[in-house]
Amino acid sequence: MQIYPRFKLWLEDAEGRFLLGEGTCELLEHIRSTGSLSDAARKSGISYAHAWKKIRKLERNLDTKLVDRSRGGSGGGSSTLTEDGLSLLERFKSIEERMNETIGRL
């Protein structure tokens, strides 16, 4: 029988409240790559409203802006990660990569 270790990563605040997991990380990745919250939501398989709610909750819990948004017009709106948004995404990805390396050695 072959058994493989797996893990699920999420980040919490000092009080143990959930902040960021794989789903929201994926959403941030898609915002970075598409420049659009609507496209990012679609790629993540969630509604625009749900994506917007996730971002607002995370920003509120961290007390920082993670996504800069501009309203749509004839050319449509745009969404880009702020420096804090990029930093959070990179931190999560770095931790995930190190954990994958560690698990791979088991």
Domain contains 53: yes
Token couple for 8: 């699920």
Domain contains 55: yes
Amino acid at 62: L
The whole-angstrom separation of Cα 67 and Cα 57 is 12
Read off the pTM. Answer: 0.87
| 67-70 and 78-81 strand pairing | antiparallel
Note down pLDDT in tens along the chain; length 106 residues: 988 888 899 999 999 999 999 999 999 999 999 999 999 999 999 999 999 999 999 999 999 999 999 876 666 789 999 999 999 999 999 999 999 999 888 7
Domain contains 32: yes
Domain contains 6: no
Domain contains 2: no
Domain contains 10: no
Q: What is the pLDDT of residue 72?
A: 67
Domain of 90?
20-66+79-104
Q: What is the pLDDT of residue 20?
A: 94
Q: What is the pLDDT of residue 9?
A: 95
- Can you tell me which residue has the tokens 């004839």? 74
How many residues are recorded in the chain?
106
CATH of the domain at 24: 1.10.10.10
Q: How many domains does the chain have?
A: 1
Query: 79 with 69: CB under 8 angstroms?
Result: yes
